[in-house]
C-alpha cells in the first residue's frame, strides 16, 4: 500500500521533473538580518525585491495575559488608542491639550464616582454636562485621524493591529520608498503615544464586543469555553475584556499598562520587502534608538494548577450545536510541542485525518470535526471541535471523539500518517513565509516567543526525528479524559 | 552573501556616523514622496494548449511552492434555480472524490502524503480549483488533479454525505445574525432566485442527483470554458508540456452548455425592511442599490468616491459614525463593479440597538451630503494620493497578478485593465467625482435592511418610511 501511489504517479506522470530552483529553509534563514538597538528593541530584516513594497510587523510582548482582575480588556483598549496619535501627530498644541485631557479625566472621574455612589439625577446631570464640556475643549486641540491620514496619503495598505493573549501586533504595508516615514511614525507611536479620544473609543470597543461576542452565539459560547479551560490563568479572560471592566477603565490605567509593558526590550519589528538592510539600519537606529529603555515588566506569577477533573460548560444558544473539547498540554517551546502539533494533525486536520474519516465519512455523526494544538507563552491546549450532523447532539459527538481517542491504543499511528502530517507542516511554513506579512508575523512574534525566530526554520528537520511512537506516547500522556474541558453548545429552545 | 557579523559592523558604523553628524529626525507630517512609484508587475506569459485552453504562467522561484489554478465557467449561472447548489456540490465532489483512474482513497492519500491541498468551489460565475503543493511533487499530483476535473468519479456515498452536510447547514442558517442579514440583503437586491442570492435548501438538494451532476459536468466542464494559471517554482517549458500531455486530448463535447442566467432576476422594491431579532443587543444596518459595470466610464471616478465615502481611514462614514459619535466598530461603504452586470453599492454599520435610528440617519446624511455637496478639494487630493501610492499593493504577490490577469481575460477585457487605471485616476477633478456622486447615488433606490430588536430602538423605524417585515424563518 505504501508504494502504490508513487508507482501510480510514475505511470501517470512520466519521469520529467517540473521542479524549478528555489530556496531551502537554511538559505531563507541565512537571508534574515538581525539588528538590536542599545535599548533592547530588535529588528529582523528580510529583503524581497519582487514589488516596490515593504511590510512591517511590530510584535510587542504585551497582551491580555498581562491583565489583572478589574482591568480586563486594557491591552486591546491600548491597541485602539495607539491609532489616535502622539505628542506630535494628531494635535494642534500638545501642551494645551495635555492640560485639557487632565481636566477631562478629572471631570469624568467626578461624574463616574457620583454615579457609582448613587448621586441624585440633578447632580449627575451637572457633572455629566461638565464632562461633556471638558470633552469638547479637549477635542478642540485634536487633528482628528491625522496618524492614519498620513499613512493613507502615502499608500498604506493592511494598516491595522491585533491584540492576543501574549502579543499586540501592529502591521502595515507601504511603498518601499516610504520606509523612513514608517520609522518616523512608529518610533513616535511607540515612544510618545497620546491616548486621546479615550471616551468615544471606549464606545467603539464596546460595539466590537457586541459584534464579536454578545450578539454572536458562537462568539459567546467560545468565551465561555475559554473561561472553563483556565480557572486561574489569565488565558481564561476575554481579550476584549468584561463589559463591566471596560466601562470602568480610566485613561491612567491605559497609560500605566503602556509604561509597564510597552518597553523596547519586549518589542521586535520585522521588515520584509523591497529594502536594503544595510541602508535602512541607519534609519532604524536614528529613529527607534530614541525610545528609552525602561525596567523589565513583572513576570507572570499565576500558573494554571493541574486540572483535577472534568470542567464543562453547556449552553442553549443559537441554532447550530457545536462542541469544543480541550486537554491541557505544554507552553510554546516545550520539547513536546511539535509532537503534539503532529498528533493533532494526524487526528483532525484535513479529509484524511482519523476523526474526519471516522466521524464524518464512516459513522456520519459530524458535519465537521477538527483537532489543533495551540501553544502560547505559558500554556497549551490540545483542542477538538466539531459540528454534529442533524439528529446528533454535541454530547454524542463528544462521546464519539473520546471513543476515537481511546481507539488509538488499538490502532496505533502509522509512519504514513506521520509523513503526511510532516508534509503538511512543511507546506504550511513555506506558505506563510511566501507573503511579506506572513513572514513578518512569523519573525516578529517568533522572536518575542520562548524559542526565538529561528525555530520556525528548524521545525521540518526536528519533525523528521519524531517517530509514530513519540506521538502515541504523547497521546497517552496528555489525552486524559478525566482532565478535559468541554463546551457543549446546544440549540436554543424558542 | 554578507554575514550577520559584517552587517552588524556596518550598522554600527552607520549609527556612529548618524550620531556624529547629528542627523535630524524628520517630521512625518511634512515628509514628501513621489506620488507614483514606477514598477512592472510580475510578467505573465500566455499560451494555448492544442485544444484551445488558455494557460497563464507566472514564475516565482523564491520558495519551492506551486499553485495551479483551474477556472471553469461552470458556476450557478448555468444551473436551474430549482437545483440551486448543484455547481458547488460538483466542485466539492471533484476535489473529494477522485477520478476514474484514481479512486477516492488513493487520490486523497496521495495529496495528503505530500502535504498538498486541492480545493474547489463554485460561485455564480465560475468553478475554481486550486492545487497547492511543493514544486517537487507537481509531476506526481498535477495529473491527479486534472483527472479529477476531467473525469470525476462522483461517488454516490460522497454525494449523500455532502447533501447531508448542506441540510445541516441550512437548518442552522439562522444562528449568526450577520450571516442572516447578508442572506436577506442578497435576496432583496438580486432576487430570491438569482445565482448570487439563492440558497441551497433541502428542496433543491432533493433535486440534485448523480444524473444531474454528471449531465452538468459533461456539458459545462469543457476546454472552451476552462482557463489555467500556474504560479510558483516551475520550469515553464516543462510545465506547458505536462499540461499539454494531461489536457491536450480533452475534446469539446458536441452538446452546448446551458446559457448563463442573469444575476439580477427579481430585485425587491426599494424601501425599509426589518428582520426582527428579539433580544439582540446590536443592530445591523445595511443599505444597497445597484453598483457599476467595470467598463463604465465613471469607474475611475468611483474609485476616488469610495475612498472618501467609506473605504479608508479618513472616510466620511467612519468619521461621522465611529470617530465622532463612537456608535460603531464596523462602518463602511463601497461601490462594487461587475463585468457583465452592475455590482452593488453597499453600506453597512453595526451599532447598539439604542442608536439604530441615529446611526441610520447619519449614514443617510453622509450619503446625501456627498450626493448634493460633493467632496472637497482636500479630499480629492488625499484620495488620489492614497490610491496612486497604494497601486503596487494590488500586485504585491505573483498570485495576485495571475488571478487578476485571468479574471480580466475571462471577461474579454484587456488584461492590463488595472495597469491603465492610474493614468485615468490622475487627471480626475473634483467635478468628475462630484458628478459621479450626484448621478450615481439614488436614495430612492435604496434597499435598507435592519436586523435587530425593534423594541429597543431609539426611535420608530416607520419614521424612515413604510417598513416591510422579513421573517428569516421563511425567507
**How far B20 CA lies from chain A's nearest CA (Å)?**
11
List Cβ neighbours of A116 (8 Å cut-off, separation of 6 or more).
none
Cβ pair B260, B78 in contact under 8 A: yes
Q: Does B173 touch chain A (CB under 8 A)?
A: yes
Contact A148 B132 (CB under 8 A): no
Mean pLDDT over residues B350-355, rounded?
Answer: 98
**How far A57 CA lies from chain B's nearest CA (Å)?**
16
Q: What distance in Å separates the CA atoms of residue A77 and residue A249, rounded to the nearest whole number?
A: 9
Reported confidence tier of residue B23, pLDDT bands at 50, 70, 90: low
Cβ pair A68, A74 in contact under 8 A: no
Contact B396 A436 (CB under 8 A): yes
Q: Does the pLDDT value for residue A188 go beyond 50?
A: yes
Interface of B with A in 367-386 (CB under 8 A): 382, 385-386
By CA distance, what is A1's nearest residue in B?
B106
Contact A427 B323 (CB under 8 A): no
Q: What grid cell was written down for B201?
A: 435548501
Contact B114 A423 (CB under 8 A): yes
pTM of the model: 0.93
Q: Does the pLDDT value for residue A204 go beyond 60?
A: yes
Contact A50 B60 (CB under 8 A): yes
Contact B37 A157 (CB under 8 A): no
Long-range CB contact pairs, B248-254, < 8 A, 24+: B248/B49, B248/B50, B248/B51, B249/B51, B250/B51, B250/B53, B250/B150, B250/B222, B250/B223, B251/B51, B251/B223, B252/B51, B252/B52, B252/B222, B252/B223, B252/B224, B253/B218, B253/B219, B253/B222
Q: Does the pLDDT value for residue A21 go beyond 50?
A: no
Closest CA to A285 of B1, B29, B30, B13: B13
Q: What is the pLDDT of residues A238-270, one digit of tens each?
A: 999 999 999 999 999 999 999 999 999 999 999
Per DSSP, helices labelled H in B1-48 are 4-20
Closest CA to B127 of B227, B46, B218: B227
Q: What grid cell was written down for B28?
A: 512625518
pLDDT at residue B37 in the model: 80
Task: Could you list the beta-strand ranges (E) of B183-296.
Answer: 226-232, 271-276, 282-290, 292-293
Reported confidence tier of residue B61, pLDDT bands at 50, 70, 90: very high
By CA distance, what is B324's nearest residue in A?
A200
Contact B18 A282 (CB under 8 A): yes
Q: What distance in Å separates the CA atoms of residue A461 and residue B145, rounded to the nearest whole number?
A: 29
Q: What distance in Å separates the CA atoms of residue A361 and residue B161, rounded to the nearest whole number?
A: 7
Q: What is the pLDDT of residues A225-242, one digit of tens each?
A: 999 999 999 999 999 999
Q: What is the pLDDT of residues B267-280, one digit of tens each?
A: 999 999 999 999 99
Q: Across the interface, which of A159, A173, A281 has its CB nearest the CB of B14?
A: A281
Instruction: Please name the residue that has the C-alpha cell 464586543.
Output: A209
Q: Across the interface, which of B172, B175, B386 has its CB nearest the CB of A153?
A: B386
Q: Does the pLDDT value for residue A380 go beyond 60?
A: yes
Distances (CA, A) of A408 to A395, A469, B230: 21, 11, 40
**How far A457 CA lies from chain B's nearest CA (Å)?**
13
**What letter would DSSP give residue B475?**
-
**How far A8 CA lies from chain B's nearest CA (Å)?**
9
Mean pLDDT over residues B434-462, rounded?
Answer: 98
Measured between beta carbons, which residues in chain A are less than 8 angstroms from residue B10? 278, 281
Parallel, antiparallel, or unpaired: how do β-strands B271-276 and B127-134 relate? unpaired
Q: What distance in Å separates the CA atoms of residue A489 and residue A323, rounded to the nearest whole number?
A: 6
Cβ pair B72, B266 in contact under 8 A: no
Parallel, antiparallel, or unpaired: how do β-strands A322-328 and A380-388 relate? antiparallel
Mean pLDDT over residues A161-184, rounded?
Answer: 98
pLDDT at residue A494 in the model: 60
Q: Across the interface, which of A23, A202, A420 has its CB nearest the CB of B113?
A: A420
Q: Does the pLDDT value for residue A69 go beyond 50?
A: yes
Cβ pair A51, B395 in contact under 8 A: yes
pLDDT at residue B39 in the model: 85
**What letter would DSSP give residue B318?**
I
Measured between beta carbons, which residues in chain B are less than 8 angstroms from residue A28? 63
Q: Does B433 touch chain A (CB under 8 A)?
A: no
pLDDT at residue A25 in the model: 85
List Cβ neighbours of A158 (8 Å cut-off, separation of 6 or more).
A55, A171, A172, A173, A437, B393
Measured between beta carbons, which residues in chain B are less than 8 angstroms from residue A13? 139-140, 142-143, 242
pLDDT at residue B35 in the model: 78
Cβ pair B313, A151 in contact under 8 A: yes
Share of chain B above pLDDT 90, in %: 93
| Partner residues linked to B290 by β-bridges | B344
Contact B115 A426 (CB under 8 A): yes
Q: Does B133 touch chain A (CB under 8 A)?
A: yes
A205 phi/psi in degrees, rounded to 5: -70, -35
pLDDT at residue A139 in the model: 97
- Helix (H) / strand (E) element for B68: namely strand B65-72
Instruction: Give one DSSP letter per residue of A254-270, joined into a string.
Output: HHHHHHHH--GGGEEEE
Measured between beta carbons, which residues in chain A are less than 8 angstroms from residue B62? 22-23, 48, 50, 434
Q: What distance in Å separates the CA atoms of residue A73 and residue B11, rounded to the nearest whole number?
A: 39
**What letter would DSSP give residue A117?**
T
pLDDT at residue B91 in the model: 98
Cβ pair A13, B101 in contact under 8 A: no
A50: left (phi over 0), alpha (psi -120 to 50) or beta: alpha
Parallel, antiparallel, or unpaired: how do β-strands A311-316 and A322-328 relate? unpaired
Q: What rounded mean pLDDT belongs to chain B? A: 94
Contact A424 B115 (CB under 8 A): yes
Share of chain A above pLDDT 70, in %: 95
Reported confidence tier of residue A157, pLDDT bands at 50, 70, 90: very high
Q: Virtual CA dihedral for A259, A260, A266, A271, nearest 10 degrees?
A: -30
Mean pLDDT over residues B407-417, rounded?
Answer: 96
**How far A428 CA lies from chain B's nearest CA (Å)?**
8
Reported confidence tier of residue B160, pLDDT bands at 50, 70, 90: very high
Q: What grid cell was written down for B146?
A: 486534472
Distances (CA, A) of B102 to A8, A217, A354, B116, B219: 9, 42, 21, 16, 22
Give chain B's domains with CATH numbers. 45-247 (3.30.830.10), 271-469 (3.30.830.10)
Q: Does the pLDDT value for residue A453 go beyond 50?
A: yes
Q: What distance in Å separates the CA atoms of residue B411 and residue B381, rounded to the nearest whole number?
A: 32
Closest CA to B138 of B250, B243, B44: B243
Contact A150 B28 (CB under 8 A): yes
By CA distance, what is A177's nearest residue in B?
B33
Contact B28 A318 (CB under 8 A): no
By CA distance, what is A209's nearest residue in B?
B329
Q: What is the pLDDT of residues B208-260, one digit of tens each?
A: 999 999 999 999 999 999 999 999 999 999 999 999 999 999 999 999 999 99
* Superfamily for the A311-490 domain: Metalloenzyme, LuxS/M16 peptidase-like (3.30.830.10)
Measured between beta carbons, which residues in chain B are less than 8 angstroms from residue A201? 326
Domain A38-91+142-288, classified CATH 3.30.830.10, yes or no: yes
Domains of chain A, residue spans: 38-91+142-288, 311-490
Share of chain A above pLDDT 90, in %: 93
Q: Does B329 touch chain A (CB under 8 A)?
A: yes
Reported confidence tier of residue B36, pLDDT bands at 50, 70, 90: confident
Q: What distance in Å separates the CA atoms of residue A87 and residue A191, rounded to the nearest whole number?
A: 9
Measured between beta carbons, which residues in chain B are less than 8 angstroms from residue A430? 63-65, 134
Reported confidence tier of residue B38, pLDDT bands at 50, 70, 90: confident
Complex ipTM, two decimals? 0.92
Contact A88 B352 (CB under 8 A): no
Cβ pair B261, B75 in contact under 8 A: no
Measured between beta carbons, which residues in chain A are less than 8 angstroms from residue B323? 144-145, 197, 200
Reported confidence tier of residue B2, pLDDT bands at 50, 70, 90: very low
Mean pLDDT over residues B82-101, rounded?
Answer: 96
Mutate to test the interface with B, among A161, A197, A215 (most CBs of B within 10 A): A215
Contact B62 A50 (CB under 8 A): yes
Parallel, antiparallel, or unpaired: how do β-strands B282-290 and B331-335 relate? unpaired
Please count the CA atoms within 13 angstroms of the CA of A488 that sit on its side-chain side: 15
Would you say how long chain A is, in residues?
Answer: 494
Mutate to test the interface with B, among A7, A39, A51, A77 (most CBs of B within 10 A): A51
Cβ pair A221, A212 in contact under 8 A: no
Contact B110 A202 (CB under 8 A): no
Q: What is the pLDDT of residues A294-318, one digit of tens each?
A: 999 999 999 999 999 999 999 999 9
List Cβ neighbours of A306 (8 Å cut-off, separation of 6 or more).
A328, A483
Measured between beta carbons, which residues in chain A are less than 8 angstroms from residue B173? 319
| More reliable by pLDDT, A24 or A125 | A125
Mean pLDDT over residues B377-393, rounded?
Answer: 96
Q: What rounded mean pLDDT belongs to chain A? A: 93
pLDDT at residue A26 in the model: 87
Instruction: Give one DSSP letter per residue of B139-191, joined into a string.
Output: HHHHHHHHHHHHSB---HHHHHHHHHHHHHHHHTTTSSHHHHHHHHHHHHHH-
Q: Does B23 touch chain A (CB under 8 A)?
A: yes
Measured between beta carbons, which residues in chain A are less than 8 angstroms from residue B102? 8, 12
Q: Does the pLDDT value for residue B28 go beyond 90?
A: yes
Q: Does B322 touch chain A (CB under 8 A)?
A: yes
Q: Does B119 touch chain A (CB under 8 A)?
A: no
Ordered strands of the A267-273 beta sheet: A33-36, A42-47, A267-273, A53-60, A168-175, A157-163
- Helix (H) / strand (E) element for A112: namely helix A94-116
Q: What grid cell was written down for B284?
A: 445591523
Contact A364 B161 (CB under 8 A): yes
Contact B18 A215 (CB under 8 A): no
Reported confidence tier of residue B326, pLDDT bands at 50, 70, 90: very high
Q: What distance in Å separates the CA atoms of residue A203 and residue A196, rounded to the nearest whole number?
A: 14
Q: Across the interface, which of B25, B233, B330 has its CB nearest the CB of A211?
A: B330
Domain A38-91+142-288 and domain A311-490 have a common topology: yes
pLDDT at residue A22 in the model: 61
Q: Does the pLDDT value for residue B426 go beyond 50?
A: yes
Q: Is A207 exposed, middle or buried (0-12, 13-18, 19+ CB in 10 A)?
A: buried
Distances (CA, A) of B301 to A201, A358, A436, B36: 32, 55, 30, 18
**How far B260 CA lies from chain A's nearest CA (Å)?**
32
**What letter would DSSP give residue A362?**
I
Measured between beta carbons, which residues in chain A are less than 8 angstroms from residue B40? none
**How far A393 CA lies from chain B's nearest CA (Å)?**
12
Please count the CA atoms within 13 angstroms of the CA of A444 that sit on its side-chain side: 27
Cβ pair A60, A169 in contact under 8 A: yes
pLDDT at residue B167 in the model: 95
Instruction: Give one DSSP letter per residue of A132-158, joined into a string.
Output: HHHHHHHHTTB-TTHHHHHHHHTT-EE
Closest CA to B119 of B110, B131, B103, B107: B131
A263 phi/psi in degrees, rounded to 5: -105, 145
Cβ pair B437, B374 in contact under 8 A: yes
Q: Across the interface, which of A12, A149, A204 has its CB nearest the CB of B313?
A: A149
List Cβ neighbours of A454 (8 Å cut-off, separation of 6 or more).
A29, A446
Size of interface A-B (CB pairs under 8 A): 326
Amino acid at each position: 500500500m505504501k508504494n502504490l501511489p508513487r508507482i501510480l504517479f510514475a505511470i501517470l506522470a512520466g519521469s520529467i521533473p517540473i521542479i524549478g530552483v528555489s530556496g531551502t529553509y537554511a538559505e531563507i534563514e541565512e537571508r534574515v538580518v538581525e539588528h538590536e538597538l542599545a535599548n533592547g528593541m530588535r529588528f529582523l530584516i528580510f529583503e524581497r525585491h519582487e514589488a516596490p513594497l515593504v511590510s512591517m510587523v511590530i510584535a510587542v510582548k504585551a497582551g491580555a495575559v498581562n491583565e489583572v482582575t478589574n482591568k480586563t480588556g486594557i491591552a486591546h483598549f491600548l491597541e485602539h488608542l495607539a491609532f489616535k496619535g502622539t505628542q506630535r501627530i494628531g494635535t494642534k498644541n500638545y501642551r494645551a491639550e495635555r492640560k485639557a485631557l487632565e481636566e477631562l479625566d478629572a471631570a469624568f472621574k467626578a461624574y463616574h464616582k457620583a454615579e457609582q455612589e448613587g448621586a441624585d439625577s440633578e447632580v449627575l446631570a451637572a457633572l455629566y454636562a461638565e464632562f461633556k464640556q471638558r470633552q469638547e475643549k479637549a477635542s478642540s486641540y485634536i487633528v482628528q485621524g491625522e496618524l492614519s491620514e498620513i499613512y493613507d496619503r502615502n499608500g498604506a495598505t493592511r494598516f491595522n493591529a491585533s491584540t492576543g493573549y501574549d502579543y499586540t501586533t501592529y502591521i502595515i504595508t507601504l511603498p518601499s520608498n516610504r520606509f523612513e516615514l514608517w520609522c518616523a511614525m512608529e518610533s513616535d507611536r511607540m515612544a510618545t503615544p497620546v491616548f486621546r479620544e479615550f471616551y468615544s473609543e471606549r464606545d467603539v470597543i464596546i460595539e466590537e464586543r457586541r459584534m464579536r461576542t454578545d450578539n454572536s452565539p458562537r462568539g459567546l459560547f467560545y468565551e465561555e469555553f475559554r473561561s472553563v479551560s483556565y480557572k486561574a490563568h489569565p488565558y481564561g479572560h476575554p481579550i476584549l475584556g468584561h463589559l463591566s471592566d471596560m466601562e470602568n477603565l480610566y485613561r491612567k490605567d491605559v497609560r500605566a499598562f503602556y509604561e509597564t509593558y510597552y518597553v523596547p526590550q519586549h518589542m521586535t519589528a520585522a521588515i520584509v520587502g523591497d529594502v536594503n538592510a544595510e541602508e535602512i539600519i541607519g534609519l532604524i537606529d536614528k529613529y527607534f534608538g530614541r525610545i528609552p529603555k525602561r525596567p523589565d515588566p513583572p513576570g507572570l506569577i499565576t500558573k494554571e494548577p493541574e486540572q483535577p477533573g472534568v470542567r464543562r460548560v453547556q449552553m442553549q444558544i443559537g441554532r447550530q450545536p457545536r462542541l469544543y473539547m480541550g486537554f491541557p498540554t505544554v507552553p510554546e517551546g516545550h520539547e513536546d510541542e511539535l509532537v503534539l502539533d503532529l498528533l493533532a494533525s494526524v487526528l483532525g486536520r484535513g479529509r484524511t485525518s482519523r476523526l474526519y474519516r471516522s466521524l464524518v465519512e464512516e459513522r456520519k455523526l459530524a458535519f465537521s470535526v477538527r483537532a489543533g494544538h495551540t501553544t502560547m507563552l505559558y500554556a497549551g491546549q490540545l483542542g477538538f471541535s466539531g459540528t454534529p450532523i442533524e439528529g446528533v447532539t454535541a454530547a454524542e459527538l463528544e462521546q464519539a471523539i473520546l471513543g476515537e481517542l481511546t481507539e488509538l491504543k488499538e490502532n496505533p499511528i502509522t509512519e504514513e500518517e506521520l509523513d503526511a502530517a510532516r508534509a503538511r507542516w512543511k507546506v504550511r511554513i513555506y506558505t506563510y513565509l511566501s507573503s511579506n506579512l506572513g513572514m513578518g508575523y512569523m519573525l516578529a512574534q517568533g522572536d518575542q516567543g520562548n524559542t526565538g525566530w529561528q525555530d520556525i526554520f528548524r521545525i521540518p528537520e526536528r519533525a523528521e526525528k519524531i517517530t509514530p511512537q513519540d506521538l502515541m506516547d504523547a497521546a497517552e500522556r496528555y489525552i486524559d479524559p478525566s482532565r478535559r474541558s468541554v463546551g457543549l453548545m446546544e440549540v436554543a429552545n424558542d | 552573501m554578507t554575514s550577520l557579523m559584517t552587517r552588524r559592523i556596518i550598522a554600527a558604523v552607520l549609527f556612529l556616523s548618524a550620531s556624529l553628524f547629528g542627523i535630524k529626525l524628520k517630521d512625518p507630517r511634512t515628509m514628501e514622496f513621489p506620488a507614483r512609484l514606477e514598477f512592472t508587475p510580475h510578467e505573465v506569459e500566455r499560451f494555448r494548449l492544442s485544444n484551445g485552453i488558455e494557460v497563464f504562467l507566472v514564475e516565482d522561484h523564491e520558495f519551492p511552492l506551486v499553485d495551479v489554478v483551474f477556472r471553469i465557467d461552470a458556476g450557478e449561472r448555468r444551473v436551474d434555480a430549482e437545483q440551486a447548489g448543484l455547481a458547488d456540490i460538483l466542485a466539492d465532489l471533484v476535489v473529494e472524490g477522485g477520478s476514474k483512474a484514481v479512486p477516492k482513497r488513493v487520490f486523497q492519500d496521495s495529496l495528503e502524503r505530500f502535504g498538498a491541498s486541492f480545493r474547489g468551489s463554485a460561485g455564480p460565475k465560475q468553478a475554481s480549483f486550486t492545487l497547492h503543493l511543493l514544486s517537487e511533487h507537481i509531476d506526481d499530483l498535477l495529473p491527479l488533479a486534472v483527472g479529477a476535473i476531467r473525469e470525476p468519479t462522483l461517488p454516490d456515498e460522497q454525494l449523500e454525505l455532502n447533501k447531508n452536510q448542506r441540510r445541516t447547514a441550512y437548518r442552522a442558517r439562522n444562528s449568526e445574525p450577520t450571516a442572516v442579514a447578508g442572506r436577506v440583503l442578497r435576496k432583496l437586491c438580486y432576487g430570491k432566485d438569482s445565482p448570487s442570492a439563492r440558497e441551497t435548501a433541502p428542496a433543491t438538494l432533493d433535486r440534485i442527483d448523480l444524473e444531474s451532476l454528471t449531465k452538468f459536468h459533461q456539458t459545462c466542464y469543457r476546454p472552451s470554458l476552462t482557463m489555467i494559471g500556474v504560479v510558483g517554482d516551475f520550469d515553464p517549458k516543462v510545465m506547458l508540456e505536462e499540461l499539454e500531455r494531461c489536457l491536450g486530448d480533452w475534446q469539446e463535447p458536441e452538446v452546448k452548455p446551458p446559457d448563463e442566467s442573469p444575476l439580477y432576476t427579481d430585485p425587491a422594491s426599494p424601501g425599509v425592511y426589518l428582520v426582527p431579532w428579539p433580544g439582540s443587543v446590536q443592530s445591523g444596518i445595511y443599505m444597497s442599490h445597484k453598483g457599476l459595470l467595470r467598463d463604465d466610464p465613471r469607474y475611475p471616478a468611483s474609485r476616488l468616491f469610495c475612498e472618501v465615502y467609506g473605504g479608508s481611514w479618513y472616510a466620511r462614514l467612519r468619521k461621522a459614525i465611529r470617530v465622532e459619535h463612537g456608535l460603531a466598530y464596523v462602518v463602511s461603504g463601497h461601490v462594487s463593479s461587475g463585468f457583465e452586470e452592475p455590482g452593488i453599492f453597499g453600506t453597512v454599520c453595526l451599532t447598539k440597538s439604542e442608536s439604530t435610528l441615529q446611526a441610520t440617519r447619519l449614514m443617510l446624511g453622509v450619503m446625501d451630503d456627498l450626493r448634493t455637496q460633493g467632496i472637497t478639494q482636500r479630499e480629492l487630493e488625499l484620495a488620489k494620493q492614497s490610491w496612486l501610492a497604494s497601486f503596487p499593493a494590488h500586485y504585491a504577490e505573483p498570485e495576485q497578478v495571475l488571478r487578476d490577469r485571468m479574471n480580466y481575460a475571462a471577461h474579454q477585457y484587456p488584461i492590463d485593465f488595472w495597469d491603465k487605471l492610474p493614468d485615468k485616476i490622475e487627471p480626475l477633478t473634483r467635478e468628475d467625482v462630484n458628478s459621479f456622486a450626484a448621478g450615481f447615488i439614488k436614495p430612492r433606490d435604496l434597499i435598507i435592511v435592519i436586523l435587530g430588536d425593534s423594541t429597543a430602538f431609539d426611535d420608530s423605524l416607520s419614521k424612515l418610511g413604510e417598513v416591510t417585515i422579513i421573517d428569516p424563518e421563511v425567507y
